[in-house]
Structure 1
């Protein structure tokens, strides 16, 4: 009897530890009825998009690198701070370095089964030592935000992740928190 109690206790502890370890990865939480994506997972998803270089006409080349995510729970938005290096492609000159803060909402797209960045805008522009370029970088940043992050998937659900005990579930409300994003799921 004591052996059986120890075995059941060991299995229970192992299951609990597995659940705790699994919390660090995207997964469904049966107690809250939501999927959770950690800030680290979201950062990894955005890292795949960078570095990238965009050209505007034949005049300007913009290299964007080193994205850093901030999750703003108060506004339910994701802020992506990226380093920017602007180069004039006609006149030889050193690049103008700066940074852009791109502010995006979050939405679910049922066709793609994905949580996407939505309606990105430029929040902040900083140009090191050359504030006269802030307006140009802000104009370029508005285009960059749309080209680079609009409808960018942070997570794509696998078909089996949208079934629970044989019943289809659909993502609902999406909540941004400082440590991750939670997606409420509902029965279809």
Structure 2
């Protein structure tokens, strides 16, 4: 190869690499554009506000416990506990029964881990526990039953309760199906690791 052909060959290689880099950038931009909002390189992060909105749509709800107590929960408020990798939900509770003249009212606060349920595409509460159940004007003699209602609410009503449901398109990145894996509670939201099914 003569000296005059070396600069031309070098120039061709530079143009080839520049073209390849441009194609790579275009592909990356296209892939990012195809990602649903919230996806990052390794998973999906939804904010406390998104979880709050999803949960609020499912409230209020009612359930009868122990055959005598009608419980209504409303106004759920979600907070995040990254130190324990749990979320906390506080709701207004109203307990009505023929055993007392007026409804009992007060806050119910539960904390819970999270797990993913593939058939329903949802993030669900995992073994919630009652942190607080303070009802006002509880008549004497039924305190133990009221306390057991809190445990029943956590164990029967809220255990495995869906707090966020993915839309089918949210489980695809650039047309490739992904499945939620490890769930991590962060200060600003909940991160769900993506894995191939």
TM-score range, shorter chain: 0.7 to 0.9
Mapped partners of 2:125, 2:137: distance in 1: 31
Q: Which runs of 5+ in 1 are unaligned?
A: 1-14, 20-24
Please give the TM-score of this superposition, normalised by the length of structure 1: 0.74
86, 93, 109: which one aligns with 2:101: 93
Specify the alignment match of 1:147 in structure 2: 156
Mapped partners of 1:83, 1:143: distance in 2: 16
Judge conservation of contact 1:122–1:138 (CA < 8 Å) in 2. Answer: no
Taking the TM superposition and a 5 Å limit, the aligned residue runs for 1:34-53 are: 34-53=43-62
Specify the alignment match of 1:123 in structure 2: 131
**Is the deviation greater in 50-59 or in 118-127?**
50-59
Q: Aligned-pair RMSD on alpha carbons?
A: 2.5
Please give the TM-score of this superposition, normalised by the length of structure 2: 0.71
- May I ask how many residue pairs the two structures share in their alignment? 163
Specify the alignment match of 2:39 in structure 1: 28
Judge conservation of contact 1:26–1:38 (CA < 8 Å) in 2. Answer: no
Flag the 1:101–1:183 CA change in 2: closer, same or farther, 3 A: same
39, 48, 54: which one aligns with 2:63: 54
Displacement of 1:178 after TM fit?
Answer: 2.6
- SS of 2:44's equivalent in the other structure is strand
Deviation sequence 1:62-107 (CA, Å, 0-9, x none): 2222211111101111111111122222x45111222211111100
Mapped partners of 2:139, 2:81: distance in 1: 27
Taking the TM superposition and a 5 Å limit, the aligned residue runs for 1:1-188 are: 27-30=38-41, 33-89=42-98, 91=99, 93-128=101-136, 130=138, 135-188=144-197
Q: Which runs of 5+ in 2 are unaligned?
A: 1-28
Q: Which has the larger radius of gyration?
A: 2
